[in-house]
Structure 1
Amino acid sequence: IWNEVSMTKELWRQLCLRRWAPCKPPSVVLGTQTWKQYYLCRSELEFRVESGRPQDFVCKAISGHTGQIDQLAYVSPNEYRFDGGAKSVVCTVSSDCTVRAWDLHEGTEIWSSPVQPAPLVSLVAYPQLQLVVTVDTQGLIIVWKAETGCEQASFCLPTSSSAMEACDHPDGTFLLVFHTQSLPHQSEDKSPVSTTFPIRQSSRACWAPDEAARLMVMHRDDRGTQLVVTTFELKTKKSRDRVNILAQQLASFPLPDTMMPHLMQGHGSQMILLASRSELVLFTIHGLQLVAFQDHQRPITSMWVDLNRVITSSLDLSLRVYVWNKENKLPVLKSCYHLLGGSHRWASGFTHVKSDSMSIAGVEARSSGTSILRSYYYKVQLG
């Protein structure tokens, strides 16, 4: 009888929802996997991600670019699928003037664009739309089809100093593009909607992932002698003929004199992660230091933060994996293990890192001035 009960669909569905729905409701592709398969496979995956033993993943060095990789982004949806139908795919842009797509599981190149007139310096991805958007040093923006590499559209900015961000909205997905000439040289009929923050010498800023209008800013105090992190809540106020943006200060705290952070990321609505040289420190927005890690031997170059993990890359040619413990009122970060790159004879360190549910991708700089991808793909026995 108990054996029959353990096979019921509703039992495994409730187990899945109880364990993972508070973060993101699990989805099962009907007809290809069951709730029981989903529960067992995801449990195994989370165990391997937290353990990081050599038998838990497959590491591949993937080369193809003839220049330096400047950015990467996942174009595969970050979802948990254990039916064999999902794979991890990333796109990269390089100083060799190409954008390329890679299968991290197979360790192979899927497609490469034709050589462009100028080096590509940044990209954003829309996994649900299967689109990739790149920008080059001359301000040319191109939209590529992620599955085939075919060019879909293009337009040029009036300046090469630009940054992009993929944004989701209930009415549709859009691209947010920043360029420096629009503010001092306004040619539009209407002035851009903007606001001024009551701070000086800001150096870093990041959004709180769980609060769409919460911004954390690192800046100097009024005397210009100490670094401070201030959190603002942005609101809009509409009048008859214009919209005003209001910045309300929620919290502020000074950083220790020994810290000179060069990287900053938010987690949830209350947490700030700062990288200062080789140290990673977790604060609340009110200045309570929760934990500090000194796992790297050389400076941290980038960090990836999501609901489950934090991953840092370093010039010491390693990636460090941390896991969130969400059982406490305030999330606690636990240091788990290193993922090692290649030989110091040929490589000079990791420069970027990104991750999805099944894999980690790092950009490994080579001593020759080029870059390769190094993927770590977690093993799961598909049900």
Structure 2
Amino acid sequence: AEPRTLPLDGLLHVFSFLEAPDLLRAAQVDKVWNEAAEYAFLWRRLSLSRWTFCNISQASKGAQTWKQYYLHRSQLEHQMARGRPSQDFTCKAISGHEGKIDGMAYLSAIEHRFDGQEKSVVCTVSADCTVRAWNVQEGTQIWSSSVQPAPLRSLLTVPEHQLVITRDEQGTIKVWDGQTGKEQATFITHSTWCNLVLCGVPENPFLTVAITEGVLYTLTVPCLKEVSRVTAFQNCHIDLLLCSPDKNWLLVGSTETPDVLAEVFHRDSLTRPSEDKPLSNSLPVGECRNASWAPREAARLIVLHEDRTTRNLSVTTFDIASKRSKNKVEILAQQVASFILPESSRMPHILESHGSDIILLGCGSGMTIFSITGNLLASFQDHHQTITSIWVDSFRVVTSSQDISLRVYTWKREKNTVVLKSCYHLLGGSHRWSSGFTDVACDNVSIVAVETRKCGKSILKAYFFNL
């Protein structure tokens, strides 16, 4: 029988083996084939096989079909990997702050529908004592807070609830309405330095605050009501505060105090306090320099540390879990892998991770990629001056540098592995006026970086791709 006489079920079965270009060609054969090639499950399968991080709920909103989602996103990724000015992306300089920008984060969801209707929104805090929100595509300010009593030093955003959380250099923490900029709540720590992290599920987030004295406060969001106060370390500066992808575990550590071992706390010990001592356990490694949770695992912790006996810099990976016995619960840190860094990567100042088993290290002006077992996967020297930040997501890596450039890389699947491909530079301003990029962040349709000027102010450089 001719193919076109196949029953619909048979036709759909055959089409389920086709890639997108063949499916588009099949749709041109006749009306029956065209209708079959439009079936949502075919394009849904293609989308989910290409992008494991595809947000199904986002894709199904409104009138957009899975076919439109697939085609729009494919085209956008092609543009983001190619990076031709004007043709693929538009660049805008966004100014407004009167001081140095000390923190930036997206308020809009990282996942887009790729239909051209959504706008990217970033928030910034500055030494000019304000927090502001910006429309990336339009290059305009959406709102600004009033001038605060002290310079603002860091921020977190909660896109699910459209909230912005800031802290100033006097230890005051505030929550702001992300849509209007209206102040919603305040919590005062009286500490000259704080570190903030969100924990808990998106529907019910908590804020954990580490202060200079080694104390952890856990607060409700958005009301900032104190839930617990725990002394993690005695008079110890906590500069490592990271929550696991499954939101169950909190890494607490100090890179400035060699004899203090990093600890892992269970979330419930902080969000549901009891009279018992909080459930925690020390990591069995020496001086901790940096750490990262592997994003594709529930609780896999990658730690950069100094080996106690050899004094060599090592990377050790642990899977964190709890073990319940008759009368108690224990936290287990099961070692998965460990290796000593080679001489060429001996002084990394940035540690990030990808997937389940890939480590990215910023070492001076270079970036080195290792597996968690120590296999050297790639080494890049695309910058002329120090790398200041590394953004990593499921599709790309972007580095910022003091040489006033960004470098864009994309992940590619080759056989049974993932390879990072270096693509192109995005350039900032003139060396006459600029002292380099200090931070970079991305969503699925834009890249935004903080460019510091020699006059002491900062601006945003926004690169948004044409949908």
Decide whether aligned partners of structure 1 residues 375 and 171 sit closer, same or farther in structure 2, where only a CA change above 3 A counts: closer
Would the aligned equivalents of 1:32 and 1:83 in 2 still touch at CA under 8 Å?
Answer: no
For 2:416, the equivalent position in structure 1 comes to 329
For 2:146, the equivalent position in structure 1 comes to 114
Distance in 1, matches of 2:153 and 2:328, equals: 35
Q: CA deviation at 1:118?
A: 1.4
Q: Does 1:2 align with 2:29?
A: yes
Distance in 1, matches of 2:304 and 2:405, equals: 27
Q: Percent of counterpart pairs with the same letter?
A: 51
For 1:244, the equivalent position in structure 2 comes to 330
The one-letter amino acid of 2:318's match is: F
Number of aligned residues = 379
Q: CA deviation at 1:196?
A: 1.5
For 2:447, the equivalent position in structure 1 comes to 360
For 1:96, the equivalent position in structure 2 comes to 128
Gaps of 5+ in 1: none
The one-letter amino acid of 2:95's match is: S
Q: 2:82 aligns with which of 51, 54, 63?
A: 51
Q: 1:207 aligns with which of 290, 293, 309?
A: 293
Q: Does 1:23 align with 2:110?
A: no
Runs of 4+ in 1 over 6 A off after TM superposition: none
Would the aligned equivalents of 2:446 and 2:465 in 1 still touch at CA under 8 Å?
Answer: yes
For 1:221, the equivalent position in structure 2 comes to 307
Distance in 1, matches of 2:35 and 2:457, equals: 53
The one-letter amino acid of 2:343's match is: D
For 2:381, the equivalent position in structure 1 comes to 294
1:309-329 CA distances to partner (integer Å, 9 max, x unpaired)?
Answer: 000000010000000012432
Q: CA deviation at 1:341?
A: 0.4
1:338-371 CA distances to partner (integer Å, 9 max, x unpaired)?
Answer: 0000111110100000000110000001011110
Q: Does 1:42 align with 2:73?
A: yes
Q: CA deviation at 1:378?
A: 0.2
Alignment of 1:337-376 (within 5 A): 337-376=424-463
1:63-85 CA distances to partner (integer Å, 9 max, x unpaired)?
Answer: 00111101100000112323343
Q: CA deviation at 1:168?
A: 4.8
Decide whether aligned partners of structure 1 residues 12 and 336 sit closer, same or farther in structure 2, where only a CA change above 3 A counts: farther
Q: 1:308 aligns with which of 381, 385, 395?
A: 395
Structure number with larger C-alpha Rg: 2
Decide whether aligned partners of structure 1 residues 307 and 93 sit closer, same or farther in structure 2, where only a CA change above 3 A counts: same
Higher RCO (C-alpha under 8 Å, 6+ residues apart):
1
SS, match of residue 46 in structure 1: helix
Q: CA deviation at 1:9?
A: 7.2
Q: Does 1:160 align with 2:188?
A: no
Q: Does 1:235 align with 2:325?
A: no
Q: CA deviation at 1:34?
A: 3.0
1:36-86 CA distances to partner (integer Å, 9 max, x unpaired)?
Answer: 332221121011011001121000000001111011000001123233431
Larger CA deviation: 237-246 vs 83-92: 237-246
Decide whether aligned partners of structure 1 residues 14 and 258 sit closer, same or farther in structure 2, where only a CA change above 3 A counts: same
For 1:284, the equivalent position in structure 2 comes to 371
The one-letter amino acid of 1:15's match is: W
The one-letter amino acid of 1:51's match is: R
The one-letter amino acid of 2:47's match is: R
The one-letter amino acid of 2:401's match is: S
Distance in 2, matches of 1:168 and 1:329, equals: 34
Alignment of 1:171-186 (within 5 A): 172-181=204-213, 182=215, 183=231, 184=233
Distance in 2, matches of 1:7 and 1:354, equals: 41
SS, match of residue 200 in structure 1: coil
For 1:82, the equivalent position in structure 2 comes to 114
Decide whether aligned partners of structure 1 residues 62 and 245 sit closer, same or farther in structure 2, where only a CA change above 3 A counts: same
Q: TM-score w.r.t. structure 1 length?
A: 0.93
SS, match of residue 80 in structure 1: coil
Q: Does 1:128 align with 2:155?
A: no
Decide whether aligned partners of structure 1 residues 318 and 192 sit closer, same or farther in structure 2, where only a CA change above 3 A counts: same
Distance in 1, matches of 2:415 and 2:167, equals: 42
Q: CA deviation at 1:229?
A: 0.4
Distance in 1, matches of 2:459 and 2:201, equals: 34
SS, match of residue 369 in structure 1: coil
The one-letter amino acid of 1:108's match is: T
The one-letter amino acid of 1:118's match is: A
For 1:256, the equivalent position in structure 2 comes to 342
Distance in 1, matches of 2:61 and 2:128, equals: 43
Q: TM-score w.r.t. structure 2 length?
A: 0.77
Decide whether aligned partners of structure 1 residues 134 and 248 sit closer, same or farther in structure 2, where only a CA change above 3 A counts: same
Distance in 2, matches of 1:103 and 1:148, equals: 13
SS, match of residue 128 in structure 1: helix
1:99-141 CA distances to partner (integer Å, 9 max, x unpaired)?
Answer: 0000000000000001111111111111111111111112211
For 1:139, the equivalent position in structure 2 comes to 171
Higher helix share: 2
Gaps of 5+ in 2: 1-27, 216-230, 236-273
The one-letter amino acid of 2:463's match is: Y
